[in-house]
């Protein structure tokens, strides 16, 4: 077996987030959008200044994405809301799980056509209690995958014909055939099995070579995989055990940004990883793609 590539990320924001998640790069503002789920914060980190602006929301925040209107679409404990950054105003849109108060939204991302895909998680981690939804720009919402436990990473293949998806407790990355015209998915199969000793697959992104970057919760790392073979290609070491998600950012999308968490770690564990909850970054020589805003 060929040796894997290895890198080490640096902490670029010692945020001490409870549950840092959901990073995406906003090219117009040249900032990293990310959230702290359990602190109900939407954050914009500016790598040029080191500043981090935060917006406190009324409920837990799973993920936020930019929209073509210039505001943010946020998947929260109480469904989908719009956040106007200039005023901080929060406008509820709809909640497909209004009848499931034990769930909150978790990870999400827009597909190449600008539809927003976001999945849920049960606070008590009941297996199969969650779902993956698709919110269209028309604001029609549809349940796309049911019997989910911890809906997490999403990525689309470079040709736009495959959706990659992580339901964390399965320890797998699965693939679906994806129809960009209709937004339909079919033919679920497993493409990557993450060995138990590496950690649990969480957030995910894709690079310009079509390889998948998967954050491993409990694994102190982000890993790079070949979706065609299931082979592990590389590992980014992170000084935080609960590595949660990643995205490419910077003007040429050549910086991998990584979020992490402090939640569930006792004071002894935190003393060994004081940067837990920070945002990390690394140049790996690989580049990603611009994130697609909601609505087109």
Q: Which is nearer to Ca ion, 278 or 295 (CB)?
A: 278
CB of 285 to Ca ion, least distance (A): 26
27-33 CB contacts, 8 Å cutoff, 24+ apart: 27/251, 27/290, 30/251, 32/247, 32/249, 32/257, 32/279, 33/64, 33/65, 33/66, 33/72
The catalytic residue positions are: 202
For 212, the 3-state DSSP assignment is strand
CB of 48 to Ca ion, least distance (A): 27
Instruction: Tell me the CA distances in angstroms from 29 to 63, 83, 98, 117, one per residue in order.
Output: 18, 16, 33, 23
CB of 155 to Ca ion, least distance (A): 13
Q: Which is nearer to Ca ion, 111 or 167 (CB)?
A: 167
CB of 235 to Ca ion, least distance (A): 19
Q: Which is nearer to Ca ion, 36 or 202 (CB)?
A: 202
Query: Which residue ranges make up the site for Ca ion (CB under 5 A)?
Result: 107, 152, 202-203
- How far apart, in whole angstroms, are the C-alpha atoms of residue 6 and residue 232? 11
Q: Which is nearer to Ca ion, 107 or 207 (CB)?
A: 107
Classify strands 151-156 and 141-148 as parallel, antiparallel or unpaired.
Answer: unpaired
> How many separate helices (H) and strands (E) can be counted in the chain?
1, 25
Q: Which is nearer to Ca ion, 152 or 295 (CB)?
A: 152
- How far apart, in whole angstroms, are the C-alpha atoms of residue 244 and residue 218? 9
Which residues, 6+ apart, have CB-to-CB distance to 254 below 8 Å?
248, 283, 285, 286, 287
CB of 159 to Ca ion, least distance (A): 26
Which residues, 6+ apart, have CB-to-CB distance to 155 below 8 Å?
109, 163, 164, 204, 205, 206, 212
């Amino acid at each position: 077996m060929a040796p894997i590539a290895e890198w080490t990320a640096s902490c670029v924001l010692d945020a001490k987030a409870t549950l840092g998640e959901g990073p995406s790069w906003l090219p117009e503002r040249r900032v990293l959008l990310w959230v702290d789920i359990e602190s109900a914060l939407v954050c914009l980190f500016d790598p040029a200044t080191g500043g981090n602006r935060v917006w406190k929301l009324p409920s837990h925040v799973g993920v936020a994405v930019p929209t073509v209107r210039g505001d943010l679409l946020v998947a929260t404990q109480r469904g989908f809301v719009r956040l106007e950054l200039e005023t901080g105003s929060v406008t509820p849109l709809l909640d497909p799980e209004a009848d499931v108060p034990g769930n909150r939204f978790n990870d999400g991302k827009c597909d190449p056509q600008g539809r927003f895909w976001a999945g849920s998680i049960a606070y008590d981690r009941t297996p199969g209690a969650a779902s993956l939804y698709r919110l269209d720009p028309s604001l029609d919402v549809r349940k796309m995958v049911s019997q989910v436990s911890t809906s997490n990473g999403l990525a689309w293949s470079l040709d736009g014909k495959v959706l990659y998806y992580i339901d964390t407790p399965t320890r797998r990355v699965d693939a679906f055939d994806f129809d960009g015209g209709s937004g339909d998915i079919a033919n679920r199969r497993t493409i990557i099995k993450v060995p138990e000793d590496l950690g649990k697959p969480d957030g995910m992104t894709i690079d310009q070579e079509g390889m998948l970057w998967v954050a491993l919760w409990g694994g102190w790392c982000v890993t790079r995989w070949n979706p065609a073979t299931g082979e592990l290609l590389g590992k980014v070491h992170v000084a935080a055990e609960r590595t949660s998600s990643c995205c490419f950012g910077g003007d040429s999308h050549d910086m991998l940004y990584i979020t992490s968490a402090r939640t569930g770690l006792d004071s002894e564990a935190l003393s060994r990883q004081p940067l837990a909850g920070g945002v990390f970054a690394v140049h790996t020589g690989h580049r990603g793609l611009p994130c697609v805003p909601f609505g087109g």
